[in-house]
Each structure stands twice: as structure tokens, then as C-alpha cells.
Amino acid sequence: QITLKESGPTLVKPTQTLTLTCTFSGFSLNTKGVGVGWIRQPPGQALEWLGTIYWDDDKRYRPSLKSRLTITKDTSKNQVVLIMTNMDPVDTATYFCAYRRRLDIVWRPFDYWGQGTLVTVSS
């Protein structure tokens, strides 16, 4: 059974750096064709993809946020970490991590999601 869970601070101040951890079970990020992504959702708004890290350490980021984002993985701990610098109140959102996999040569969408963690940016 695949599960993911986000953890980290619920409140950060403007200009601070946010570090969120996604701890997962039921799969390994050493397995070919697997990826973990981060998606956020401001209160009452739509979903916004932030970035994805793949089994081969390939990383893809949202271009508009690329300079502020870093995603890393620790396969020994079954964790993926999201770092977002220079936080602003507009970054207030629920942050989700999610799993996706490749079947043969085609990718499935994110099919397992964590419950999400609400991060508020305020002084």
C-alpha cells in the first residue's frame, strides 16, 4: 500500500526559507520509472504543480519558481524534501506531495497523494 505524508512548519515569516519533508512507504525512489512531485493549493484556489523528482535524480521545476525551489531525495529514509526560499504571503497554501509512475513507456498522472500540510506565511 502506497502512502505519503508531508511534514514541516505550519507558519513561516516572509523572506524565510520553507523546508517540507514528504515521507513515503510502499515504493522505492530507487525503482526505475517512479517520481514524487510537489503540488500546492492556496486556500479556495486551484492546484499548482511545483516540481517533481524522479528515480534517476532528474528534477523538473515550475519555471516561474525555479530560482526559489530545490527538491532532493533520500532513498535510505524514503523521503523527498522541498526547499522554497524567500517565502511571501502569496505562498500561503496547502502543500501536497504525490506519487507517479511509468508503465512501459507511458506515464500515469499523480495517483497517490499525501493529506497535505497547510503553510501560512505571515509576520
Applying CB under 8 A, the residues found at the interface with another protein are 37, 46-49, 60, 62-63, 96, 98, 100, 105-111, 113-116
DSSP 20-59: EEEEEESS-TTSTTEEEEEEEE-TTS--EEEEEEETTS-E
CB of 89 to another protein, least distance (A): 21
List the end-to-end C-alpha distance of the chain, in Å, as a whole number: 40
User: How far, in whole angstroms, is CA 19 from its chain's centroid?
Assistant: 10
Strands 11-12 and 117-121 turn out to be parallel
CB of 107 to another protein, least distance (A): 6
Whichever of 115 and 122 has its CB closer to another protein, that residue is 115
CB of 115 to another protein, least distance (A): 6
Whichever of 44 and 76 has its CB closer to another protein, that residue is 44
Whichever of 88 and 111 has its CB closer to another protein, that residue is 111
Q: Which helix (H) or strand (E) holds 81?
A: strand 79-84
CB of 45 to another protein, least distance (A): 8
